[in-house]
Each structure stands twice: as C-alpha cells, then as structure tokens.
C-alpha cells in the first residue's frame, strides 16, 4: 500500500512548524513535505530533531511561483495539502500590504490550481478569526462559521480573500476542501515579533514592553498544540466543504497577558510602556468552536497551564529566540 503524502506549506513558521513536528512524530506512515520560502519568519533550526527522520522532507519554494509549484505537485502527487503559508503580521500589512496580497491571495490560488490539477484528496486551508472583523465587549457574543466576513486590516482582508478563493475552487471545480479559522495562537517557536514571545523576551532582558493603546483589546488564546490536534482532526474527519472555527476559550485583554508574564517572571510592571494604538485595531475576538467540538475536538490547555509552560519553554530555549532576534538564524 502506497504511503500517503502530505504537503504542509509554511512549515518553517510558527503554527506550520509545530504542525510539521506533530505530524512527523504522530504518523510515521505518512511522508510529510515541508514547503517554505524561508522568508524572515521562516526558521529550520526548530526542526533539528526531526530533519533526519525518513518521513520528513523539506522543499524551499515560493507558493506564488507557479513554475516551481506545478512541477512539484506533478512529481510528488500529494494526497493532502495543509496550507499555512502566509504573511501574518498585522503591523507589517499596514506598511507593506502588496506583499500580503501576493503571498496570501495569489499564492493560495496557485496551490489550489495545482491541487485541482493532480486531484488531491483534501485541501485544508488554515485561516484566522480576524476575517470576521471585530466583536464588541459583550461577553456573550462570539464568531460562528456563519458570521459575515468583515476584515479590517490588509492582513485579514488578504486572508478573507484566500478563504473565498478556496471556497470558489470547491464550488466551481469540486475540489475537496476544509477551511479552519483559529483564534490567537501561542506556544513554542513563536516568532518574537508577536505579543507573547515579544513580552517574554523583553521581560527576560529587562526591556520595556510596548502595549498598544490602553491594552484593553481582547483576544481568545489557543495553544498551538491544541490547534495542531484540531487541524489533524479536520484533515481526517472534516466534512467536505465545511468551515470549522478553532478557539481556546481563553479570552484575555492584551494588558492581562503582559501582566501575567511579568508576574510569572517576577519582574516589575514598570516595564510596561503604552504606545500609540495600531491603526484599525480590532477590539475583541471570541470564537464559538461548537461545530468542531461536535466533531470530537476540545482544547486541552487552559491559559494558565499553557502560558506557564510557554514561559518555561522560552526561559529554557534562549538559544532559539536569541538567534532569531539577532538575525543569526538566517545564516544557518
């Protein structure tokens, strides 16, 4: 019986990288192909424990480069595609939106075309709750899979566009797909420009921690390993054509997250520095993941457990994030 081949795009990034490790270790009978361009946020040092495993393969390529993608699909004849690769930092999308359109929209279309041409069994598109826009501070209001798409940043607009392209390939060409939309992820190997790793690294170095506006913006935090388990379930059991929200049931204000990290590391809240608010900064995200829970998934991490383990990981793995901050990882 032929071994299943799974292409994971963006597998040198944060969520995709954790997913690659999760799948390589859980499914030795699958061949896992990690496709990544290795932009500034891509890092292969995180895979040093799996890179010699027989079922792990790395391919460096640009998902928006049709001349590279089509021959790869035709040669390997992938069974499944799990698509993480994306420009994802909101602040960068405000200053350089065209890069987000090229990677997130055109890149997704190139992958969809290739997947259609070879007839993959499932294309799982990993998206974000930010495509829904924002919620007010009513704790009873949540995003469901039926919430209209109302993106507010160039980043979320590019992700919403890619979601619609995935839907179109399903409706027009019959491509088997699922779309997952997750809340904010955290955990090991999170690039240090994002809130939690930025805060941990700065607090450990006694540097000021920037907090946008008044810090009252609310996010639902999802541990990356819970997210990996959710995508694994959707890949194998998701109903063709369906969207699944993935949420951690862990809503916190940005200021609460920062203060939790500072308290855990026994440092002073004097390190907090309020800065000019981000343009178009969404007030609150909150996920209703009932549909996915009915499929058989539930988060295993509480925020308290997850953030404590995450802080410990950053304390014990300075080798990883220090080389990211210094830029040394680009030379490896």
> Which residues are known to be catalytic?
129-130, 155
Helix (H, G, I), strand (E, B) or coil at 186: strand
Read off the pLDDT of each residue in 256-264 and give the average, rounded to a whole number: 97
What is the pLDDT averaged over residues 221-245?
Answer: 98
For residue 79, what pLDDT is reported? 98
Count of the separate structural domains present in the chain: 1
Q: Is the pLDDT of residue 332 over 60?
A: no
φ/ψ of residue 285, rounded to 5: -120, 140
The residues near 147 (Cβ < 8 Å, ≥ 6 apart) are 132
Query: CATH number, domain at 55?
Result: 3.40.50.720
Residue with tokens 């990981």: 313
Tokens of 253: 């204000």
Which backbone phi and psi does 63 adopt, to 5 degrees?
A: -65, -20
Residue 8 structural domain: 4-191+221-250+281-302
Report the distance separating Cα 125 and Cα 179, nearest Å.
5
pLDDT bracket for residue 63 (50, 70, 90): very high
- Residue 201 inside a domain? The answer is no
Within-domain flag for 226: yes
Flag whether 276 is in a domain: no
172 in a structural domain: yes
Whether the Cβ atoms of residue 151 and residue 159 lie closer than 8 Å to each other: yes
154-212 confidence digits (pLDDT tens): 999 999 999 999 999 999 999 999 999 999 999 999 988 889 999 999 999 999 999 99
CA 67, distance to chain mean position in Å, is 26
Does the residue 315 lie in any domain? no
Residue 267 belongs to a domain: no
How far is residue 273's CA from residue 65's CA, in Å, rounded to a whole number?
42
Q: What is the mean pLDDT of the chain?
A: 94
| Reported confidence tier of residue 1, pLDDT bands at 50, 70, 90 | low
247: its two tokens: 């949420």
Chain centroid to CA 86: how far? 8
């Amino acid at each position: 019986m032929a071994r299943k081949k799974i292409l994971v795009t963006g597998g040198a990034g944060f969520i995709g990288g954790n997913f690659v490790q999760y799948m390589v270790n859980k499914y030795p009978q699958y061949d896992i192909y990690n496709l990544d361009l290795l932009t500034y946020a891509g890092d292969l040092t995180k895979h040093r424990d799996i890179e010699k495993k027989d079922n792990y393969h790395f391919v460096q390529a640009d998902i928006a480069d049709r001349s590279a993608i089509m021959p790869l699909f035709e040669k390997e004849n992938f069974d499944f595609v799990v698509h993480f690769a994306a420009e994802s930092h909101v602040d960068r999308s405000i200053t350089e939106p065209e890069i987000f359109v090229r990677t997130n929209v055109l890149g997704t279309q190139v992958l969809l075309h290739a997947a259609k041409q070879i007839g993959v069994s499932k294309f799982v598109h990993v998206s974000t709750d930010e495509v829904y826009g924002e919620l007010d501070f009513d704790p009873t209001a949540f995003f469901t899979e039926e919430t209209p798409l109302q993106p507010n940043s160039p980043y979320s607009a590019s992700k919403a566009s890619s979601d619609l392209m995935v839907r179109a390939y399903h409706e027009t060409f019959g491509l088997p797909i699922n779309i997952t939309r997750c809340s904010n992820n955290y955990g090991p190997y999170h690039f240090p420009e994002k809130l939690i790793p930025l805060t941990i690294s700065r607090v450990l170095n006694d540097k000021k921690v920037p907090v946008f506006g008044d810090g009252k913006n609310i996010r639902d935090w999802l541990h990356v390993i819970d997210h990996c388990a959710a995508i694994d379930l959707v890949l194998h059991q998701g109903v063709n054509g369906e969207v699944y929200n993935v949420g951690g049931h862990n809503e916190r204000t940005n200021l609460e997250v920062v203060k939790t990290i500072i308290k855990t590391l026994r440092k002073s809240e004097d390190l907090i520095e309020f800065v000019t608010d981000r343009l178009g900064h969404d007030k609150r995200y909150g996920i209703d993941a009932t549909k996915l829970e009915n499929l058989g998934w539930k988060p295993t991490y509480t925020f308290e457990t997850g953030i404590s383990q995450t802080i410990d990981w950053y304390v014990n793995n300075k080798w990883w994030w220090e080389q990211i901050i210094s830029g040394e990882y680009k030379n490896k």
